[in-house]
Amino acid sequence: MNKDKFLIFQDKSLLEALAQIEKNNHGVIFTINESDQVTGLLTDGDIRRYLLQEKSSLEDSVSLCTNIEFLWESPSSSRELLMKKLDHRIRVLPILDKNKKLIDIVSRDYLPLQEERAVYARAKSPVRISFGGGGSDLTHYFSDGVGAVINTTISIFSHATLRLRNDHKIIIKSLDLNNTLKANNLEDAIVPKENFGLIQSLLRTIKPDYGFELDVHSDFPMGSGLGGSAVVSASILGCFNQFRQDRWDPHELAELAYQAERLYFGIEGGWQDQYATVFGGFNFMEFRMDENIVHPLRIQSDILLELEESLILCDTGISHNSGKIHQDQRLQMEQKNVKKLVESNVSLCFEMRNQLLRGDLVSFGKSLDIAWQNKRKLSIGISNNQLDKIYDDAISHGALGGKLLGAGGGGFFIFFVPPLRKFELIKHLKESSLNIRPFRFEQEGLRSWTVRETRD
């Protein structure tokens, strides 16, 4: 809307005011002083009423009949408020800045859309607990067979925030690494730098053609055995996905995370971590060379609640290198007895799925013990005397079974304990200076969204 047609200096005549009102065709005009501040409002009706008085003239100053107690709004006023005022017998409403200068004019036939503001993307992705099928999600195992795992996501997350820049500079802050990466462009950003290998591999994978600022932090320590690198990757990918027109679907997100971590970054490992964190919830996963299938498990709510109360997540305080353990597993898999152990875990995984669906949690807890006894034989790096003692002591204090999460070598134990012995086991673990981590099952996987940047 042309603002000049609505303005007139406060020392002009009524005749000039009428001419200006005729130009804007809205029956109203605003007076301004020498500093361009709006001082009042004048309608054609105000002028007519004034002219009906004795000794009035069209040559009189507009200031003689200007309404200085007029309604106006600020640029921060919501569209909702503006619409309500226009709906309430107001024809034209000026928008003034803090200095009372005219910014815009709205009317019933002119109410512009709110300008697009800058947005930033946020994402959170949950870690997983793997109950069975360990080792069978490795490509070199299911290349000539079928792998199967059963897992669920829990309420421990990795978080990422992404803000686009107007230049090509890249700034990445990682609270987990306690470090910052700064680069002038993507080419500089992917130059190898200590500790940033995973994030740089993600940048190589998705190749963003814009500058950005990325903040990353997680609720868990590195080397925890909770699939942390895949979870971090998923949260970052979730942010970038928000700025795509053709968004990646869950399968594509999991594949991109795998590509960055396994192919580009070169960390040995299986496929389940990426699928678990992206899809979320309780899942039974099958792995074949032609495709990976994620089967959501419809477990009754009371069974889930009882299972949740029967599990204890225990941090050993020992970090581990999953890549080296998986590398050793690859070599060990050439031995027939090791491959048979993995095959046994796959068969057990099918049994555990059925135990969960039917609510046979005692048998499920005992199956965890069988899964652990099989898993610890897959590589010498999976367990050691210290970890064996933690596990054996937990069994002697009430646990029916459990297993070390992830590749092994450290990180978190998950224990299944019947209700009447849970207190005993918790007391023992605390007396052993082991940290118990509370959690809840998380039914959602990767979640990402955009938020408008707040105006200062």
Query: CB of 288 within 8 A of CB of 406?
Result: no
Find all residues with CB under 8 Å of 214, minimum gap 6, and list them.
160, 161, 162, 163, 170, 171, 172, 173, 199, 236, 239
Q: How far apart are CA 114 and CA 116, in angstroms?
A: 6
β-bridge partners, 215: 161, 173
Count CB atoms within 10 A of the CB of residue 220. Answer: 21
Q: Which of 60, 137, 219, 273 is catalytic?
A: 273
Query: CB of 430 within 8 A of CB of 393?
Result: no
2, 164, 270 from 198: Cα distances, Å: 54, 21, 16
Rounded to the nearest angstrom, the gap between the alpha carbon of residue 7 and the centroid of all alpha carbons in its chain is 49
Q: How far apart are CA 260 and CA 293, in angstroms?
A: 21
Residue with tokens 């990795």, as numbered in its chain: 158
Helix axes 272-279, 228-241, angle to 10 degrees: 50
The reply to whether 137 belongs to the active site is no
Tell me which residues are annotated as active site.
273
